[in-house]
Chains A and B, each alone.
Chain A
Amino acid sequence: DQQVKQNSPSLSVQEGRISILNCDYTNSMFDYFLWYKKYPAEGPTFLISISSIKDKNEDGRFTVFLNKSAKHLSLHIVPSQPGDSAVYFCAASLSFGNEKLTFGTGTRLTIIP
Chain B
Amino acid sequence: KAGVTQTPRYLIKTRGQQVTLSCSPISGHRSVSWYQQTPGQGLQFLFEYFSETQRNKGNFPGRFSGRQFSNSRSEMNVSTLELGDSALYLCASSGRWQTTDTQYFGPGTRLTVL
Contact = CB atoms under 8 A, between A and B. Distances in A.
Contact of B94 (A45, A99, A106): A99
For this complex, into which size category does the number of interface residues on chain B fall? 20 to 34
Interface string B34-72: 010000111111001010000110100000000000000
A41 B107 CA distance: 6
Interface residues of A, number: 23
Contact of B56 (A4, A41, A49, A99): A99
Contact of A101 (B40, B103, B104): B103
Interface in B66-94: 90, 92, 94
Classify the secondary structure of B's interface with A.
strand
Contacts of B55: 99
Contacts of B108: 43
A72 B31 CA distance: 29
A97 B96 contact: yes
Interface of A: 4, 6, 34, 36, 41-46, 49, 89, 91, 97-106
